[in-house]
Amino acid sequence: MIDAVVFDFDGLIVDTESSSFRAWVETYEEYGCTLVEEDWAQHIGTINGFDPYGTLCARATLPVPPEGELRAAKRAREQELVEAEPVRPGVVAWLDEVATMGLPVAIASSSPTHWITGHLTRLNFTDRFAVVACCDDDRPPKPAPDVYLAACERLDVAPSRSLAIEDSAHGVAAAKAAGLWCVAVPGPLTRTLDFSAADITLGSLADVPLADVLGQLDPIAR
C-alpha cells in the first residue's frame, strides 16, 4: 500500500537538465572546445559528479574568464532557456491523480530550495506539493538518501509506504537507499544510464496512469 508520492524536480517535472547542458555546451563552444552528453551524465541528479568550469579550463583553446564571471553569464542563458521549457508529459495528469486519491505529495531534490520554489511559482504549482525537501542546511545531495528521508519525515509517512518518481540513476539510488519504492522516468540526457535498481521504468509519465503503476506495486508493497 502506497501512502505518499515523492517527486524529483529537475529533469522530471521540467527538463531543466537539457537547458543547463545546452547553456554549458554553448559556453564550451565559445572558448573553442566541446562538452558531450557523456560528460554531463555524471552530473545529473547530484551536485558533485562533474566540474564543468574546471573541465572547461582544461579543454579551452581560448582564455577563460574567472569562474564567477563565466558562471553568471551561463546562468543568464540557462534561465532564458529553462523558462521556455514546458512541464514534461504526464506530470499534470499524475499530480491530478494524486490529488484525487488524497495522497500527500512532496518534492525531494538535490537543488536548493530557492531554485525549486521559484519554478513552482512560475508553473503555478505551489499548491501541488505539501513538502519541498532540498539540499539546504548542509543536507547531502543524492545519491545520499537524506532528501527522501526528510520528505517522508515531514509528510509523516514511512519510506517503505512511499513512492519516489525519478529521472536519474543518482536519484533512484537515493530513493532506494531511503527505503522508498521507485519509478524511473529517464529524460533525454539520462536514457542511456542504468536504471535497473528502479522497481518500474517508464518511457514517460504519459504512458501509464498512476493508478496502474500503484496496482503493479500494491501486491509487493503490502
Hey, which residues are catalytic here?
8, 10
Q: Is residue 109 within 8 Å of residue 133, measured between CB atoms?
A: yes
Buried b (16+ CB within 10 A) or exposed e, 46-74: beebbebbeebeeeeeeebeeeeebeeeb
DSSP 85: P
Residue (of 131, 133, 125) closest to 96 by Cα position: 125
175 to 77, 96, 109: CA distances (angstroms)? 31, 23, 11
Residue carrying the nine cell digits 531543466: 16
* Number of Cβ atoms within 10 Å of the Cβ of 102: 6
Q: Which residues pair with 165 in a beta bridge?
A: 7, 183
Q: Could you tell me the three cell numbers for 176?
A: 532506494
Half-sphere exposure of 192 (CA within 13 A, CB side): 7
